[in-house]
A and B are shown apart, each in its own frame.
Chain A
Amino acid sequence: MNNKLSKVFDNPNHKAFIAFITAGDPSADCTVSYILEMAEAGADLIEIGIPFSDPTAEGVVIQEANIRALRGGMTTDGVFDIARRVREKSQVPLVFMTYLNPVFHYGYDRFFARCEELGVDGIIIPDLPFEEKDEVAVPAAAHNVSLISMIAPTSESRIQKIASQAEGFIYVVSSMGVTGVRNEIKTDIGSMVESIRKVTDVPCAVGFGISTPEQAAAMAAVSDGAIVGSAIVKLIAKEGENAAPVLREYVKSMKEAVAAL
């Protein structure tokens, strides 16, 4: 697939820093400006979360952001409009992260046609495992959108088949459980990535539980990049409409941590 995702991990001088944000928390205007701010501060890829009423893979921080966004009236079309406004000013690579039902309900073909039109190059769906992926991967590919595969600490014997069909990048889930800041990541990410590398050249980015520059550096050192969600959403929850300066500072520090590798 020839889209912008292939270039995210291309830079030989640094690993990728991937930032997640929940669309519509606290407002669509804020989401647009925060995405632009984080892109300028050095985020290599932005994951835009389409809010869902029942985000079963999320910890409390992102659950609450989903609730705030939906209470604020965010819709699937509202999220596309955020992407459109970002595209007026920036070509930063974008992917969506959401649950299957909002995409299913929108209609796969209609959804991915909108993604293609707006240059949203990938989608992450935590409740869509390998066994069920074709119903989404096929219509997504028809619109040049990569369905990002996830590999978890429990995947073991499944790594080979998942990796062999992966595209864009592989989302390596660092820990058991749901998203959220963790003090310590115990999984042996290095050996997980090694198993993946035996099968594919598709880049591996590690997410779940990463919040500090030290953690990001440690994860990126054994992979191709670090993904941060809850820590960013937490800053936005705290600062509300005035989060731009802290986000800029935070993303810069994280980017520096992975760039030094």
Chain B
Amino acid sequence: MSKGRYGIHGGQYISETLMNELIKLEECYEFYKKDPEFNRELQKLLNEYAGRPSLLYYAEKMTKDLGGAKIYIKREDLNHTGSHKINNVLGQVLMAKKMGKTRVIAETGAGQHGVATATAAALLGLECEIFMGKEDTDRQALNVYRMELLGAKVHPVTTGTMTLKDAVNETMREWTNRVSDTHYVLGSVMGPHPFPMIVRDFQSVISKEAKEQILEAEGKLPAAVIACVGGGSNAMGMFYNFIEDKDVELIGCEAAGKGVDTAFHAATIAKGSLGVFHGMKSYFCQDENGQIAPVYSISAGLDYPGIGPEHAHLHDIGRAQYVPVTDDEAVSAFEYLARTEGIICAIESAHAVAHVRKIAANYSPEQSIIICLSGRGDKDVAAIARYRGVDIHE
């Protein structure tokens, strides 16, 4: 069996044209991972540019209100560009530059990964082109303009369902077309090896910090860590350093859209089956002929028919559990967190908040739960207003 396996998942199911590039990428990554100078530069960018370490905030009002575990929030929303995406992007773009690449391309769903990539490209002086589903350029118009302000070219993708999956298709096609000077900054723990590993490693800073911070605050490990899951990068980052701590529950929240029993969801673990797509073997929402199913979520960032291969494996071995959260629950949680803690979070992250509202009371006040708040919610304000039937003119 090939490299990059997580149990039966993962692998390198990609066109021959890209294989030598993936092999080179893996070699470069293995080199830079151990290179003190690369690590110094990256740490400097993370600390002085992105604003790490991010806060671990004790949500006292929420804790009192829910009446159970102490709730902590890992504030990835406070990073520069407003989400966890910058952790991975700074690592990959810095590495791309050292590999001699002059151009980066990336897919984006909600726009957070596109904004982060455009930001890093502007800072490090690389050309940048972003592929974004037409439906997402419409619902996240502000992020499109943001990327353009940062000097990126944004291509609206009009094929297929015109969302994240189609943006990935189009970015892969573009990479096949022009690979010698271009690095594909894949935004999640998905795709062909070595991407799931590289993205996980760069995102694992989340749990590395969170573990130190919770031990400092509570003197013991949390009972559970919780994150939303689309492709699964913030969740993998939040889980990674806790995998070895068998008593810490790892909980991923999938987008159940209008409900897992409707046709309108993106709940891959709940409703998907084993398949091979976007370079990896994993679970996918698909029909009886192996055609990838159109998926739906109010959240553009979770609107993806697959899940990263390491998550699929953590599910198989029972180390992590994955639960569905509906649009309605996520929107309520979005509003709840704003009113209770004064934090407007991304609608993606609100899926994790929603699940904590359901389970916090099952724990004792001596236990703690950490929510990974993957992003801030400015981008979602207009969409939430529309969801509530409020007409906003800017």
CA distance A52 to B12 in the complex (A): 19
Tell yes or no: B19 within 8 A of A by CB.
yes
Q: Is B177 a contact partner of A127 (Cβ separation < 8 A)?
A: no
Q: Is B20 a contact partner of A102 (Cβ separation < 8 A)?
A: no
| Cβ proximity bits B269-290 to A, threshold 8 Å, 1 near / 0 not | 0000111111100001010111
| CB-defined contacts of A177 to chain B, threshold 8 Å | 17, 173, 176-178
CA distance A105 to B287 in the complex (A): 9
The one of A56, A67, A76, A178 that contacts B290, using a Cβ cutoff of 8 Å: A76
Number of interface residues of B (CB under 8 A): 38
Interface size class of A (residues with CB under 8 A): 35 or more
Tell yes or no: A184 within 8 A of B by CB.
no
The one of A56, A101, A155 that contacts B173, using a Cβ cutoff of 8 Å: A56
Tell yes or no: A176 within 8 A of B by CB.
yes
| CB-defined contacts of B340 to chain A, threshold 8 Å | none
| CB-defined contacts of A150 to chain B, threshold 8 Å | 15-16
Q: Is A154 a contact partner of B17 (Cβ separation < 8 A)?
A: yes
CA distance A178 to B19 in the complex (A): 15
| CB-defined contacts of A151 to chain B, threshold 8 Å | 16
Min CB–CB distance B363 → chain A (angstroms): 40
| CB-defined contacts of B279 to chain A, threshold 8 Å | 127
Min CB–CB distance B16 → chain A (angstroms): 4
Q: Is A126 a contact partner of B275 (Cβ separation < 8 A)?
A: no
Q: Is B179 a contact partner of A176 (Cβ separation < 8 A)?
A: yes
Q: Is A129 a contact partner of B20 (Cβ separation < 8 A)?
A: no
Q: With A56-B172, A104-B276, A105-B289 in contact, do A127 and B19 touch (Cβ < 8 Å)?
A: no
Q: Is A54 a contact partner of B177 (Cβ separation < 8 A)?
A: no
Q: With A53-B291, A104-B275, A132-B12 in contact, do A153 and B165 touch (Cβ < 8 Å)?
A: no
Tell yes or no: B57 within 8 A of A by CB.
no
Min CB–CB distance B134 → chain A (angstroms): 15
CA distance A130 to B273 in the complex (A): 25
CA distance A178 to B159 in the complex (A): 15
Q: With A101-B286, A129-B12 in contact, do A63 and B159 touch (Cβ < 8 Å)?
A: yes
Min CB–CB distance A24 → chain B (angstroms): 12
| B20 nearest CB neighbor, chain A only | A154
Tell yes or no: A61 within 8 A of B by CB.
no
Min CB–CB distance B331 → chain A (angstroms): 29
Q: With A54-B277, A176-B179, A177-B176 in contact, do A152 and B15 touch (Cβ < 8 Å)?
A: yes
Min CB–CB distance B288 → chain A (angstroms): 8
The one of A102, A126, A129, A178 that contacts B291, using a Cβ cutoff of 8 Å: A102
Tell yes or no: A173 within 8 A of B by CB.
yes
| CB-defined contacts of A60 to chain B, threshold 8 Å | 159
Q: Is B286 a contact partner of A152 (Cβ separation < 8 A)?
A: no
| CB-defined contacts of B378 to chain A, threshold 8 Å | none
Tell yes or no: A156 within 8 A of B by CB.
yes
Q: Is A132 a contact partner of B13 (Cβ separation < 8 A)?
A: yes
Tell yes or no: B169 within 8 A of A by CB.
yes
The one of B17, B273, B275, B276 that contacts A152, using a Cβ cutoff of 8 Å: B17
10 contacts between A and B (CB under 8 A): A76-B290, A101-B276, A102-B289, A103-B290, A105-B275, A129-B16, A131-B2, A132-B12, A176-B176, A177-B178
Chain A residues with CB under 8 Å of chain B are: 52-54, 56-57, 59-60, 63, 67, 70, 75-76, 100-106, 126-132, 150-158, 162, 173, 176-178
